[in-house]
Amino acid sequence: MPVVTPRFIMPVVMAIALAISTAPARSIDAATADDTARFLAGLEPSSNSPLAALTKDPAWLSHARYFDSVFAREESTHLSKVREFSKTYLTEKHDTMLYMFSGPDLLYANSFFPNASIYVLAGLEPVGEIPDLTALSPWAVDEELRNLESSMDTLFSFSFFITSKMKTQLHEGPVYGTLPVLYVFLARTGKTIHDVNFGRLDEQGIFQIAENRSATKSSSRSGASGAEIVFSEGNGPRQVLYYFSTNLADGSVERSGFSTFLAKLGPADSLIKSASYLLHSGHFASVRKLLLDNSATIVQDDSGIPLAYFDPREWRLQAFGRYAGPISMFANFYQPRMTDLFQGASPIEFGIGYRWRKNESNLLLAQKGASPISDDQLTPNAVATAAPSPKSRKRAETEATRSLGCRIARIFPFCW
């Protein structure tokens, strides 16, 4: 066996010593989550942040100008009007806000329900990761900023994410997944990030914080993986955002601990939009029931829970906008009762959902226990009209499921 001479050993020893001596310094000087969020959002990080030097790059300056422009337009066209709708009609808000099939769309969750203590978003999209940006080459940082811009383009254009078009942005590159998008939305809505934890739900629906990031990337079939972000607006109270990467289909939602986690949170305000009409099928009965059982308020477009599932003895429904029926690719999910409900509906000043143009959008506000129809008002005809029989529900679910699978797989390959 050849002998290793000291002249080969010394460089190795020196390299190890150098790595050990510099590792703590890199940890101490690492950018905070809040500074990272601001940098990705095109906003100046704190002056002593290691990211401050990167803001002199022309590529970052161009990115900042682009986000200044698109967020200003989104604020003027949609978000300010959504908040006005919220102030007028969503007067009884609750501590928990649920948004299923959301992807990273915190922007609309926060606009409809700005004061929730806990936000829970869920989608198939991965949580993702944001590495030390100072360790990336300038070219790589520029590329990641461009990817972020592309990721958000459809939300700004149509009010929803087209998941199939986000494949590259959400699954590739050193900066990937929903986390960077959530960071941008938090920073651009004036939030300060205080803490970020990664973890997984256990069988009891308890969020178990992982000791290291790699533990949440395991191929374990049980336990929804997620991120917990603690933030506040200015000096306001601390709020918590959970994003879970999990399958909401029947069976999976129970095994992952997600349904148990939600059941512990108490009455919630829920948002459902651009949900691919998944809640119309028989494969998502569990999450549909969970939303109906645990929500005090549901704001949704017609892709959400079908009218047939809102018991008029429990729910008061208010229609806003115009019901023009589903877009062509979802034509089988037309609801005749929606046409009747939306006769004389109040207008809305913003576009939302698949029919994103302002004068074509529909929004349904369902409030539990808000002057529902009493038993003596429910004539046999009213009951038949308001709540179809279990047999007709089952038939509608079967027809919806039959056309759902291939259509969703073909158009939204990363959707349920």
pLDDT tens string for the chain (416 positions)? 444 444 433 443 344 343 333 333 334 478 999 999 999 999 999 999 999 999 999 999 999 999 999 999 989 988 999 999 999 999 998 999 999 999 899 999 999 999 999 999 999 889 999 999 999 999 999 999 988 888 777 656 554 455 555 444 566 678 888 999 999 999 999 999 999 999 999 989 999 999 866 655 554 456 899 999 999 998 899 999 999 999 999 999 999 999 999 999 989 999 999 999 999 999 999 999 999 999 999 999 999 999 999 999 999 999 999 999 999 999 999 999 999 999 999 999 999 988 878 788 999 999 998 665 544 544 333 333 344 545 545 555 544 444 444 343 333 333 33
Q: How far is residue 223's CA from residue 246's CA, in Å, rounded to a whole number?
A: 8
89/361 Cα distance (integer angstroms): 17
Instruction: Kindly give, in sequence order, each residue whose CB lies less than 8 Å from that of residue 153, ignoring residues fewer than 6 positions away.
Output: none
pTM, to two decimals: 0.82
Contact 346, 368 (CB under 8 A): no
Is residue 287 within 8 A of residue 280, CB to CB? The reply is no
Q: What is the DSSP letter of 342?
A: T
Closest among 165, 144, 305, 170 to 245, alpha carbons compared: 170
288 domain-assigned: yes
In a domain, 20, yes or no: no
| Residue pair 139/217 in contact by the 8 Å Cβ criterion | no
Alpha helical stretches, state H, 276-379: 285-294, 336-341
Res 359: pLDDT = 82
In a domain, 167, yes or no: yes
270 beta partners:
98, 298
d(CA 309, CA 275): 16
Whether 15 maps to a domain, the answer reads no
Domain membership flag for residue 199: yes
What is the structure's pLDDT at 8?
Answer: 37
**409, 416 Cβ separation under 8 angstroms:** no
Nearest-10 crossing angle of helices 33-40, 178-188: 90
Predicted pLDDT at 387 = 46
**Are residues 326 and 277 in contact, defined by beta-carbon separation less than 8 angstroms?**
yes
State the angle between helix axes of 58-74 and 178-188 in degrees (0 to 180), rounded to the nearest 10.
Answer: 70
Number of domains in the chain: 1
Cβ neighbours of residue 194 under 8 Å, at least 6 residues apart?
34, 230, 231, 232, 238
In a domain, 204, yes or no: yes
Domain that holds residue 40: 27-411
DSSP annotation of 194 reads: E
In a domain, 56, yes or no: yes
Q: Is the residue at 18 inside a domain?
A: no
